[in-house]
Every structure is written in C-alpha cells, then in structure tokens.
Amino acid sequence: MAEQLHHWIGGKRVEGTSGRFGDVFNPATGEVIGKLPYASKADMDEAVKVAQEAAEIWGKTAVPKRAAVLFKFRELLVANTDKLAELVGREHGKTIADAKGEISRGIDVTEFACGIPHLIKGEFNSNIGGEIDLFSIREPIGVVGGITPFNFPVMIPLWMGAPAIACGNAYINKCSERDPAAPMFLAELWKEAGLPDGVWNVVHGDKEAVDSLLHHEDVPAISFVGSTGVGEYVYQTGCANNKRVQAFCGAKNHMVIMPDADMDQAVDALIGAGYGSAGERCMAISVAVPVGQGTADALIEKLTPRVEALKIGPFDDPGADINPLITAQAQQRVENLITRGVEEGADLLVDGRGARMQGYENGYFVGSTLFNNVTTDMDIYKTEIFGPVLSVMTPSTYEDAVTMVNDHEYGNGVAVFTRDGDTARHFANSVDIGMVGVNVPIPVPMAFHNFGGAKRSKFGDTQMHGPESIRFFTKMKTISARWPSGIKEGAQLAFPTND
C-alpha cells in the first residue's frame, strides 16, 4: 500500500490544501510506494509566512548558538547515514554505497557551515578621516527558496540549506517530487538538533509550487539545481521579480586522454565517472576524448570489456554497479537516444537497451552503453543524456580536443588525463569550463571551495557552497560612525572626502 506523504511546514507534517497528488515510485520495481501532495499557491504562501516569522527570530540569534545547532545536526547526519541512504536508494534507486557518498558530501558542507562565526565576519577600518570609523556587516536576507533535483535528494538540499540557515535565514526546500522522503527526514533531524520550527521547511509540488516561490515578494533569493531549460526559466523569472538567483544546470562533460596518460587509470576513471549512479549526475563524464587514433584504440581495447561487465541491480544489491533510472519516461528517453545514435552512424559497441533483471522486470533499467566514432553533429553528443551512456570521440590533435570542449554549449566540468605537467597547465588555463580535473574525473570541489559551471551550465554570477555561498545568503551593510569628541566642523555643502 502506498504511503501517504506530507509537506513539512512550521516544524510539523502538513497535508496541504490543493487536493492534487503525485505518485512516488520504486524505480527498481516500478511500484507506487507513496502518494505525495502537490502544493497550491495557498500552501506556499503559508510556508513563506511561517518561514518569514521564523527568520525574524533566527536571524537575531547569536551566531555561536546558530553554529551549535549545526554541530548537533552534523552529528545526527553521521548517526543516521544508513537510514538516509536507504531512503535515497528506495526512491531514487542509487546503490547504498553511492547514496552514502552523496550524504558524505552533504555532511562536508554542513561542517563548513559550522564555521559561520568566522565566515560571516565583516570588515573594519578605524579613523578613515575626521575620526570616522567605517565597518561592514553581513546580515541574513530572510527567506530563501531552494529548488532541488531528484539525483541528489540529500546533498543538494544541504549544499543550499546548511549555509543559508547558518547565515540566519529560513529555508524552503521545493525538493523533487520523485524522491521526497530524504528531504523530509532531514527536516526531522533539524528539529531534533534544536532548529526552531519554521526555519527549515519542505514543500512538494510541480510548476505551481515553483512559480509561487518565484513570484512571492517575501522570498528574496532562489537557489536552483536542475536541467538547463528549467534553470533558465527560474533565473529569468526570479530576476524579473527582483530576486537574487543562482541556477546550476545541465552538462556535457568531456575527459581528454592524452597519449602519455596512464590508460588503466583513465579506464577506471571512465567506469566510475561515466556509469556511476547510472550517469544521472551533472558532473558525470559522458564523452571520452582520446587524442589520436592510437590512444583511442588502446582505450577501446581496455574499456569495452569493463563496460560489458557492469551489472544492473536494485539499490540494496551489493553486487549492483548500475541502478535503475528515476522514471519510466527517463528510461524510454535514454533508450530513444541510444537508437538515435545508431541511426546517426555512431558505432554501438555495448548496447544497454532492453536490460532486464529477474524479479525486477518492471524496473526502469538501462544497461551500460558505449559508443565509438561519435561526431559533434550527433544528438547523442549535443544532448545531456543523463543515463549510463559513454561516447568516444577521437580528435587528431590536442588543439582539436580543446576546441571541442570549448565549442560545446555546456561548461560544467572537464578532465584531462596526462603525465605531462605543461599539458595539464595549458589545458586548465585554456578551457572555458567551471571545474577542471587533472587526472581527476569528477572535479567537484570540497566544501570550503566553490562549485559552479560556465556557459549554459550556470545562470547567475555566484557559485555554490564555499565562501561564495556566504555572500549569496547574506546582504552587506556598511556603517560610517563618528562619536562627538570635540570636533566642530560646521555645515559642509561640498561632497565629503577624507581630508
């Protein structure tokens, strides 16, 4: 029987008023396991009202006390990692090991946010002129909306929510309707950690819920992760409503393999970065770029049997390498793109279409897929497939490889595998990509650095987590102060200077 799910508003579960519901599936079996309420505008208005009231108090709470709540929450995340991983696996489908990796990265950002007493410090100058002291402070901005994707139901809400809350804001998570259980459990952990009711809220829904956030005058900031089409809409709509918006979007990440690369290391990297989480990562490597035909031949020889050996399976199968995709529609879309690649003339070396597993015949599985001789005019190259599909392309020269990377509309991540430091340095300085790996296939920065892409992989000019998150989730106030101390200047009509 499907579980009846709820919103989380004001520190408790709320049924909502819309009368609209969506199904939550187990992607390994295709079974409906939950009924999720979709928020109406009235539901979102109530969440914003509650969050605004909570933000007024939380934003004035002493910074060390806010940090203490974050420290406690971090302890609860560690203690409940197994339960969180199971919730993620059951609704998303990713393996337990993969889910724990995601949770670990969320804990990293929470740990970073625990340092908020230091991170939020302002600046001070004494006696800039006429015995005037000048200082700046960072203040909360109020209610922050976070629109988060299905592929990281723990990590991304924490990447947004932990810094936002540390800075003194209230947070409304419009999480993916595909896997809502983990964000709801995070809400319970926040409450157990001592976070005041209304500071962390979870509201489910579709475009109506998103639009309610984007148009609400009491939500000054929106953070988004998802597809490029939706991200561009969120960015443009939010900005049109005078909001601060950051939107992190789609990708087509290349891995350039030089002739001098350690080929075994490169193949290991492609297996993990190309097929981990069934390719449903914005930082997945989906294009392998061996430079020169000799390099390509050596790569294909080692890579093909490794790809063929990957096993599909449900989240709780310790032998599974590739999990199901999130929905039946996603499965069909990926299989259609594989068919399109064949029609366009790419060489299909490993075909993952029609993958089935005994006892899980209705699961949304696509097996590992490998294309060779892909060209830049093919749909499978231009499109973010978001499935376990890797394309191999073979430019003749290093310069052609760099041009290929730079000419793609997306610019999230890229990697180069080489033993040559000069090549690596030149590559890092030449590509128009937000995150670059040198012999590192998924160059996601640690929490104390910033995450973000380039070109159509990101809208807005701020990054996620790291120091930029503190700037995004606060507003700057600058104060000039002088106390009466015998200075008698008289009225001055000229523009003030430091003379």
Residue 278 DSSP code = G
Interatomic CA distance for residues 241 and 215, integer angstroms: 6
Interatomic CA distance for residues 378 and 395, integer angstroms: 15
Q: Whose CA is closest to 74, among 166, 211, 148, 10?
A: 166
Centre a 10 Å sphere on the Cβ of residue 382 and count the other Cβ atoms it contains: 12
The two three-digit tokens of residue 445, written as one number: 């920065």
Interatomic CA distance for residues 173 and 160, integer angstroms: 9
Q: SS3 for 323?
A: coil
DSSP strands (E only) in 51-203? 123-129, 132-140, 143-147, 170-174, 200-202
Distance of CA 178 to the CA centre of its chain: 16
CB environment 205-217: b (16+ within 10 A), e (fewer): beeebbbbbbebe
- What angle is formed at CA 458 by the lines to CA 452 and CA 462, rounded to 5 degrees? 55
| Set 114, 167, 175, 282: catalytic member | 282
Q: Can 282 be counted among the known catalytic residues?
A: yes
Integer angstrom CA distances of residue 378 from 337, 374, 384, 415: 10, 7, 12, 22
HSE-up of residue 159 (Cα within 13 Å, Cβ side): 32
The two three-digit tokens of residue 390, written as one number: 């890797």
- What angle is formed at CA 241 by the lines to CA 231 and CA 410, rounded to 5 degrees? 20
Q: Whose CA is closest to 400, among 296, 273, 499, 274?
A: 296
Q: Judging by DSSP bridges, how do beta strands 389-392 and 285-290 pair with one another?
A: parallel
Identify whether the C-beta of residue 164 lies closer than 8 Å to the C-beta of residue 154: no
The two three-digit tokens of residue 66, written as one number: 């806010």
Judged on CB neighbours under 10 Å (0-12, 13-18, 19+), 1 is exposed
Q: Whose CA is closest to 386, among 157, 210, 226?
A: 226
Q: In what order do the strands lie in the sheet with 20-26?
A: 3-4, 31-38, 20-26
Interatomic CA distance for residues 155 and 111, integer angstroms: 13
Q: SS3 for 196?
A: coil
Residues with a known catalytic role:
282
